[in-house]
Structure 1
Amino acid sequence: MDFKGFDKKSLTFLESIRQNNNKEWFEAHKKEYEEYILNPSRLFVEEMGEHLMALEPTLNFEPKINKSLFRIYRDTRRMGANKVPLKHRIGFVFWQGGGKRLQSSGFYMHFSPDELFVAVGVRWFEKPMLDAYREYIKNDENREKLKNILDKITADGYKVIDKGYKRLPRGFDSDMSNADLALYKGMATYKVLKPELICDGDKLIDNLYKIYEDMLVLQQFMYEVSLRVKEDID
């Protein structure tokens, strides 16, 4: 079965989750979740994944929860986590490499009633990836390469996630060219679109493919970083 897009009711359903965010409500509306969210999400992963393999043949994708799909339930056990039990946005990831799916460079997307968010890279670093990133950009040529990549991406109208640190880490100083690249807690580029785009399957796939193609150079850079992670992150 081909992916035709998400029903318009999918955005209405997610808004209903936001207004009725409790497990009892969700259990009573489980069939709607499967019809409007889960089933078309699986088809989307297959369709988008096949397209993305034209850009990166070694990409990983699988239309399963905790693979390319995310759980609808939040992990509320973590300190500081959002304690609302359900997510009102639906995310997808297509990742490259053998590490954790969110610590491997990848193509990401989520949609909610508010936005369609499209991104490439690693949105936040756990320590092994942070160490690998900093070690990689200690090299002057690699920092210059990354700076040129970000300049090109922003010139094309995309945004880069904000820096997360204020002080340069050990091994970097203000005299180094582009030393501020060491201040990032993640390295990713993104674009925000109107959520209604998800309702037209062909337009959604075409738009995402063009965006991911433009962002591919950062994807490839961050994949090179991931290959230098010293700790097994499977």
Structure 2
Amino acid sequence: MQFFSCEALDFLQNLRENNTKEWFLAHRDQYERLILEPSKEFVTEMGAELQVLVPNIRAIPKINHSLFRIYRDIRLSKDKTPMKSRIGIVFWRGSGKRLQSSSFYIHFSPDELLVASGIRGFSKDSLEGYRNYIKDENHARSLQAIMHMLKGKGFAFPEPRYKRYPRGFEKDDPFAYLSLYAAMFAFKRLDPKTICSDRLNEILFEIYQDLLPLFEWIYEMSLTFEITDPKGKSLSL
């Protein structure tokens, strides 16, 4: 089933070249027809299919749920362009904040379709919980095996952000390098026109099926701590 036409990519390219609120408001009908309404339909249909992999996955076709606002938060950004020229969609498990929960994610732009799973930026609480979790050698070994398996299937991971090992990790520990990550997710980049395919759901389902071991590892890890500060900055991709 085709959800998005390739006109959606043309719209995003035009938005990138005319990134003002005035231009967007003048073309808002195109945004709703080419992006917003197809996104809602996609979330509903893809969410139903993902129930096979994760029976209680959250797929809510609303802004600030599975859909993201197209307006950028520019308050603390040097980039003052007001609109996003890529469209993100997320499916997550659990009652916590969507970006601090185990999730399946996509975004598409004129440049790429990116498919991912995990947490794209740990909050302070999530980072502490993650590090405590991997102090258990069994958990760390399991994550390492999942990462190795996914890299063998063409997935990539973010580079470690931190240079110094945190307290409780020693340099000669074979799993200590895992403590240097500021996020834990795997991703794969596809041709942007994949978003226009009538096989989109099938393509994504196969990728998410490959990512399921990481999704489940992240979910089990997230059950071991509580988040009091849900803010975590997603790594730029």
Question: Is the shorter-chain TM-score for this pair beyond 0.5, marking a shared fold?
Answer: yes
Cα distance in 2, alignment partners of residues 155 and 118 from structure 1: 16
Aligned partner (choices 139, 142, 156) of residue 142 of structure 1: 139
| Letter of the 1:212 counterpart | Y
Shift in Å, 1:232: 4.2
Cα distance in 1, alignment partners of residues 168 and 92 from structure 2: 30
SS of equivalent residue, structure 2 residue 187:
strand
Q: 1:155 to 1:112 in 2, by over 3 A?
A: same
Q: Are residue 197 (structure 1) and residue 198 (structure 2) matched?
A: no
Q: Are residue 178 (structure 1) and residue 175 (structure 2) matched?
A: yes
SS of equivalent residue, structure 2 residue 105:
strand
Q: Quote the residue 1:26 is aligned against.
A: 24
Cα distance in 1, alignment partners of residues 93 and 78 from structure 2: 27
TM-score, normalised with respect to structure 1? 0.95
Q: Quote the residue 2:233 is aligned against.
A: none
Q: Are residue 221 (structure 1) and residue 217 (structure 2) matched?
A: yes
Structure 1: segments with no counterpart, 5+ residues: none
Structure 2: segments with no counterpart, 5+ residues: 231-237
TM-score, normalised with respect to structure 2? 0.94
Cα distance in 2, alignment partners of residues 126 and 163 from structure 1: 15
Aligned length: 230
Q: Quote the residue 2:154 is aligned against.
A: 157
Q: Quote the residue 1:7 is aligned against.
A: 5
Cα distance in 1, alignment partners of residues 130 and 138 from structure 2: 14
**What's the % identity of the aligned pairs?**
48
CA RMSD in angstroms comes to 1.2
Q: Quote the residue 2:118 is aligned against.
A: 121
Cα distance in 1, alignment partners of residues 142 and 109 from structure 2: 34
Q: 1:58 to 1:123 in 2, by over 3 A?
A: same
Shift in Å, 1:20: 0.3
Aligned partner (choices 66, 74, 82) of residue 68 of structure 1: 66
Q: Quote the residue 2:36 is aligned against.
A: 38
Hey, which bits of structure 1, 4+ residues long, moved more than 3 A? 231-234
Q: Which moved more, 1:167-176 or 1:103-112?
A: 167-176
